[in-house]
């Protein structure tokens, strides 16, 4: 199964939110979202997820 990682660097606008939700509804795609705008981000875990993902979208 293909995987997509969404990396959120600022609050999502309506278009970006819609795209994240639409990709999450695709049963043939494993979607993960890492939100860097909340709390203390775990950058080591983010780097690992980046190398595991087939595609990355940064918002």
Residue 45 makes CB contacts below 8 A (sequence gap 6+) with none
pLDDT number for residue 12? 92
pLDDT number for residue 30? 97
Task: Locate all alpha helices (DSSP H) within the chain, ordered by sequence.
Answer: 14-24, 43-52
Q: Tell me the pTM.
A: 0.89
Q: What distances in angstroms separate CA 27 from CA 11, 43, 52, 56, one per listed residue?
A: 26, 28, 19, 18
pLDDT in tens, 3-57: 999 999 999 999 999 999 999 999 999 999 999 998 899 999 999 999 999 999 9
pLDDT number for residue 43? 96
Provide the percentage of residues in the chain whose pLDDT is more than 90: 97
């Amino acid at each position: 199964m293909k995987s997509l990682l969404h990396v959120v660097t600022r609050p999502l606008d309506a278009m970006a939110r819609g795209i994240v939700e639409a990709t999450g509804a695709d049963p043939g795609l494993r979607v993960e979202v890492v939100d860097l705008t909340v709390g203390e981000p775990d950058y080591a875990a983010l780097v690992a997820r980046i190398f595991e993902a087939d595609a990355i979208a940064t918002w």
